[in-house]
């Protein structure tokens, strides 16, 4: 549907890192090493004094990880980026870099459940309060912002797919001197570049579309040099949630095909969402691409959306009939996936487990993978027929 951004020139980003020692390998090497040695006392002391920037220990600087970070910074239109061991390490490090006891965070409602739980546990214990607002209601956001330290966004959200006017919200945060952050995992920099819309920090679960092959758990934060310096000062080295060299290498591989994967996810998911919307047994399809137009700054849609069955459809039968669609959380890889809303609502033994994240018990979340739209649709139709 919507035109995406220009394809990224990833090859030139990779070769920019070749200082003559990669033997012209088309794929960059993995620096799978914990430490880097010094040839002399003088070289070692010069590094420790900061007179020479070079890798010392991988938790600090690793060339493969750095390569991924620089690629991501460039893709998001930022000056710098930091790779983390998971999306949650990225979120917690970003948030903890800007708050002190007594501070307040404003967050859009229906954020990623574990982000919500981080806010309700660790941050609550640190006496940091989180106020939730509807990101679609700019007046409510403007009212909540004065005095806050962080404005935490996620757009679109990853179950009910609420899409916000990120540029307008970022401008509100700026006006009130509040640091703005956004979880951009759903759209990826291919469809949305929040830094260019005025957001201070962009966060990803790289486990999803950036990696794109369901074989890595990782995260990343991108922004200006100044903003990233805040993370580098304490959270990155001392919380220690560093991205590993091998995972960074997998992410570099994944990024090479990000544009074509996103276009394919978009096309297949749009087709299936529109067809579902036509069915009598479907009450509502939650997909930002079905609205008259996308919010400003969102230039396309990905493969993740949800829909709500009408009363009387047996979701268990529907789910168990599917074969190409696997029952499973996460998303962003080749595979099509389904998560029944009722399963998430029954997730016990979690802090604040009464919270529903806006999930309807008759809803189902789909990730539309790359298996082929018609094969996926045939299977959905058959499963719906069996369940109705
Ligand atoms: C998966 C996910 C996260 C958390 O990322 P991990 O890599 O699993 O730690 C954060 N935000 C969104 C929207 C996600 O889907």
Model confidence at 218: pLDDT above 60: yes
**CA of 330 relative to ligand 1 center, distance in Å:** 8
Verdict on whether the full-model pTM lies above 0.85: yes
Same domain, 311 and 236: no
Same domain, 232 and 268: no
Direct distance between the N- and C-terminal alpha carbons of the chain, in angstroms, rounded to an integer: 31
Which atom of ligand 1 has the smallest separation from the CA of 219?
A: 7
Assess if residue 313 is contained within a domain.
yes
- Out of 84, 88, 89, 187, mutate this one to test ligand 1's pocket (max ligand atoms within 8 Å of CB): namely 88
Rounded Cα–Cα distance for residues 229 and 234 (Å) = 9
Mean pLDDT taken over the chain: 93
Of 192, 190, 120, the closest CA to residue 156 belongs to: 192
Same domain, 242 and 338: no
Whether 59 is catalytic is yes
pLDDT given at position 1 = 37
**Which CATH number covers residue 285?**
3.90.1150.10
What are 311's two structure tokens?
């009363």
Of 328, 315, 314, the closest CA to residue 364 belongs to: 315
Same domain, 176 and 144: yes
Which atom of ligand 1 has the smallest separation from the CA of 218?
A: 7
- Out of 159, 192, 207, 211, mutate this one to test ligand 1's pocket (max ligand atoms within 8 Å of CB): namely 207
Write down the catalytic residue from 66, 152, 165, 183: 183
Residue range 43-50: mean pLDDT, rounded: 92
Asked whether 205 and 90 are in contact (CB, 8 A), the reply is yes
Assess if residue 91 is contained within a domain.
yes
Residue range 254-262: mean pLDDT, rounded: 94
What are 122's two structure tokens?
């660790």
Assess if residue 360 is contained within a domain.
yes
Assess if residue 378 is contained within a domain.
yes
**Which CATH number covers residue 60?**
3.40.640.10
Same domain, 65 and 204: yes
Same domain, 103 and 59: yes
Give all strands of the β-sheet with 304-309 in edge-to-edge order: 282-286, 304-309, 363-367, 337-340, 326-327
Same domain, 246 and 331: no
pLDDT tens digits for range 165-183:
999 999 999 999 999 999 9
Whether 112 is catalytic is yes
Helices 245-256 and 258-278 pack at an angle, to 10 degrees, of 70
Q: Whose CA is nearest to atom 8 of ligand 1?
A: 87
Same domain, 133 and 278: no
pLDDT tens digits for range 29-42:
899 999 999 999 99
Of the residues 204, 222, 256, the one at which a domain ends: 256
What are 86's two structure tokens?
């998971």
Of the residues 256, 286, 321, the one at which a domain ends: 256
What are 198's two structure tokens?
């005025």
Assess if residue 26 is contained within a domain.
yes
Please write down the long-range contacts of 25-28, taking CB distance under 8 Å and 24 or more positions apart. 27/253, 28/64, 28/67, 28/249, 28/252
Is residue 105 packed enough to be buried (19+ CB in 10 Å), middle (13-18) or exposed (0-12)?
Answer: buried
Residue range 291-304: mean pLDDT, rounded: 96
Same domain, 150 and 200: yes
Which atom of ligand 1 has the smallest separation from the CA of 158?
A: 13
Assess if residue 2 is contained within a domain.
no
Quick count: other Cβ atoms within 10 Å of Cβ 180? 25
- Provide residues with CB under 6 Å of ligand 1: 86-88, 112, 158, 183, 185, 205, 207-208, 217, 219
Assess if residue 102 is contained within a domain.
yes
- Residue whose entry in the numeric block shows the structure tokens 């990803």: 204
Same domain, 280 and 249: no
Domain range enclosing 199 = 10-256
Same domain, 83 and 224: yes
**CA of 188 relative to ligand 1 center, distance in Å:** 13
Of the residues 228, 256, 284, the one at which a domain ends: 256
**CA of 116 relative to ligand 1 center, distance in Å:** 12
pLDDT given at position 18 = 52
pLDDT given at position 338 = 98
The domain tally of the chain equals: 2
Quick count: other Cβ atoms within 10 Å of Cβ 334? 13
Same domain, 191 and 141: yes
């Amino acid at each position: 549907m919507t035109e995406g951004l220009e394809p990224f020139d990833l090859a030139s980003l990779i070769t920019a890192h070749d200082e003559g020692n990669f033997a012209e390998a088309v794929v960059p090497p993995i620096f799978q090493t914990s430490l880097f040695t010094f040839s002399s006392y003088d070289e070692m002391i010069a590094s420790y004094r900061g007179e020479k920037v070079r890798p010392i220990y991988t938790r600090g600087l690793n060339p493969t990880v750095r390569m991924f970070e620089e690629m991501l910074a460039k893709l998001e239109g930022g000056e710098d980026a930091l790779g983390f061991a998971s999306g949650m390490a990225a979120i917690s490090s970003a948030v903890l870099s800007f708050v002190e006891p007594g501070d307040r965070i404003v967050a859009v409602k229906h954020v990623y459940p574990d982000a919500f739980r981080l806010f309700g546990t660790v941050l609550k214990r640190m006496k940091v309060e989180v106020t939730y607002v509807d990101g679609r209601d700019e007046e409510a956001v403007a009212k909540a912002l004065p005095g806050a330290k962080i404005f935490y966004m996620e757009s679109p959200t990853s179950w009910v797919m609420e899409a916000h006017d990120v540029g307008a919200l970022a401008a509100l945060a700026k006006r009130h001197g509040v640091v703005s952050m956004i979880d951009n995992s759903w759209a990826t920099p291919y469809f949305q570049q929040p830094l260019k819309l005025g957001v201070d920090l962009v966060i990803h679960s790289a486990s999803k579309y950036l990696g794109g092959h369901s074989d890595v758990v990782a995260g990343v934060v991108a922004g200006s040099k100044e903003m990233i310096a805040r993370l580098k000062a304490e959270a990155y080295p001392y919380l220690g949630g560093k991205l590993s060299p091998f995972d960074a290498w997998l992410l570099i591989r994944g990024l090479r095909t990000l544009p074509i994967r996103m276009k394919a996810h978009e096309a297949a998911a749009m087709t299936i969402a529109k067809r579902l919307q036509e069915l009598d047994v479907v009450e509502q399809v939650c997909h930002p691409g079905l609205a008259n137009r996308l919010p400003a700054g969102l230039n396309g849609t990905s493969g993740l959306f949800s829909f709500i069955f009408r009363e009387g459809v047996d979701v268990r039968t529907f789910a168990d009939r599917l074969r190409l669609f696997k029952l499973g959380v996460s998303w962003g890889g080749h595979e099509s996936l389904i998560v029944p809303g009722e399963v998430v609502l029954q997730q016990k033994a979690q802090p604040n487990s009464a919270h529903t994240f806006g999930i309807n018990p008759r809803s189902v979340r789909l990730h539309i993978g790359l298996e082929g739209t018609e094969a996926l649709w045939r299977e959905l139709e058959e499963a719906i027929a069996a369940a109705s």
